Structure 1
């Protein structure tokens, strides 16, 4: 769980970031930031080269100011979350372009996105709280520009959190819409099968009547079979059409 802890001379910030070694891995990876007046140290159980190497190549952070370096590193993590959430948003839009063409596979994909976004929220919300607590940590001796950077970072994290919640609501709405469409299709199918069953009762009754071993009208008529067949088909179609038009 991301949190901020303060020791004698060190401040410890535990955070989680999306796994950077696999674009399709939805688990978050823990990372520990250790900070004092002279050093900033990071510890993690996984290799984070894909995150830190671009940061090393592109960032212009002062290594003699650990607080500024810490804010820049957390900002890099925030941008990583933003990219992941934006990718999920694009994939969701492609998968839910038409609610009527959704398949079970698409719903399973949305469920996977939902689990991933919940994992991100479980990491982002406590991390934002920890970042906000940095402002109240007297041992860090934040300057005015440092406080502004921390506040901006907190705003960025809140925006990512809001985006995750928005996507989760979208997933819920899509799933509810899909359930409504499936219920409608099921009702239409049951209705059609019911009409077919009712329509088939007429030829079944007529066939049963003329199939009994008793004298019946027209038993000597050579065309009686075709007459019965035509009457049965017409009656079945008329009854079926009547029920299909009834809503």
Structure 2
């Protein structure tokens, strides 16, 4: 699916056909749609397909006809069958002489505000500034999702304080996996941003340079937050692994102590159950006496083990 927009009177309006200064937004397109956009905008078809490959790395390429900026953007999982609570997908931003094109596999929070006209001072015909605004919005979404991860981990930890369940531990693992995706993608995006800044691959005005610097700062902040949350989550997982191991050891120690104490009556009863002459064999109260003896030994052993903190 692809849609066409253009800025008119400080508002992004939907169009029926491609015209100069328009923005073409492509989401999970068919082969026919890719070919149509490629032929009408003179964009190499491999540029359009690059953003549809989930394993494509972030990069920037410039040729005589157009420029492609490929970055990783964060998305939230729609269901548990996906790769985690959050993961990243490529977003391709292609600029030619007349238009700007965005390509992605699914709808996302990076592009959504532009479609809803909630981004101020956004003009589709100012392609460089529009590109930088998308990059800036991408960093903001990363920060938003990172804060969500932090809040979610706090909720899960509070549950784990009450009860250690596999469900909560699996959720922590999914959060940790999401942070790995974020950290890797943010570092790749950082390389692209620094290349744009150093190599002057895209024509920029002074205001654009300031916006690019803001984008780089926000991206670095997101990297730092991802690293901090990842370290905290790793430490938390290690701590709960130690708690689980310690709880298991305590349970095994308790069961071993109980087994030893219970073995005393069994041992005493087995002595008196031998097919030979034994004390109290002719005593009418032999059972009671044997029971008292075995219980006394068990109590003494239990007291000794309790004092040695074996319970």
Give the TM-score, by structure 2 length: 0.72
CA shift at 1:217, angstroms? 1.9
* Cα deviation, residue 62, structure 1: 3.2
Q: CA deviation at 1:23?
A: 7.9
Matched, 1:221 2:290: no
Partner of 1:54: 113
TM-fit CA distance, 1:100:
5.7
- Does the aligned pair in 2 maintain the 1:135–1:142 contact within 8 Å? no
Q: Distance in 2 between matches of 1:207 and 1:139?
A: 91
Paired with 1:163 and 1:67, the residues of 2 have a C-alpha distance of 28
CA contact (8 A) 1:33 1:43 kept: yes
1:44 aligns with 2:100: no
1:9-43 superposed Cα distances (whole Å, 9 cap, x missing partner): 53321012123683876332221112356543222
Partner of 2:267: 205
Alpha-carbon shift at residue 200 of structure 1 (Å): 2.2
Are the structure 2 counterparts of residues 44 and 183 from structure 1 closer, same or farther at C-alpha, using a change threshold of 3 Å? closer
The one of 132, 137, 140 aligned to 1:71: 132
What residue in structure 1 maps to residue 74 of structure 2?
18
Q: Distance in 2 between matches of 1:74 and 1:100?
A: 42
- Alpha-carbon shift at residue 99 of structure 1 (Å): 3.9
2:298 corresponds to which of 233, 236, 242? 236
What RMSD over aligned residues (CA atoms) do the two structures have, in Å?
A: 2.2
Q: Distance in 1 between matches of 2:66 and 2:199?
A: 11
Change in CA separation of 1:8 and 1:137 when aligned onto 2, cut-off 3 Å:
farther
Deviates more, 1:13-22 or 1:199-208: 13-22
Please list, as runs of the form range in 1=range in 2, the aligned pairs for 1:143-182 lying within 5 A after superposition.
143-182=205-244
| 8 Å Cα contact 2:176-2:233 kept in structure 1 | yes
Q: Is the 8 A contact 1:96 1:102 kept in 2?
A: no
Matched, 1:29 2:92: no
Q: How many positions carry a matched residue from both structures?
A: 246
> Do the aligned partners of 1:99 and 1:177 also contact (CA within 8 Å) in 2?
no
Write the distance in 2 (CA, Å) between the matches of 1:230 and 1:178: 44
Which segments of 5 or more consecutive residues in structure 2 lack a partner in the other structure?
Answer: 1-56
Q: Does 1:104 align with 2:166?
A: yes
* TM-score of the superposed pair, with normalisation by structure 1: 0.90
Query: Which stretch shifts more, 190-199 or 224-233?
Result: 190-199
Residue pair 1:132, 1:150 contacting (<8 A) in 2 also: no
Larger relative helix fraction: 1
Structure with greater contact order relative to length (CA < 8 Å, sep ≥ 6): 1
- 1:136 is paired with a residue whose SS is helix
Distance 2:258 2:79 in 1: 51
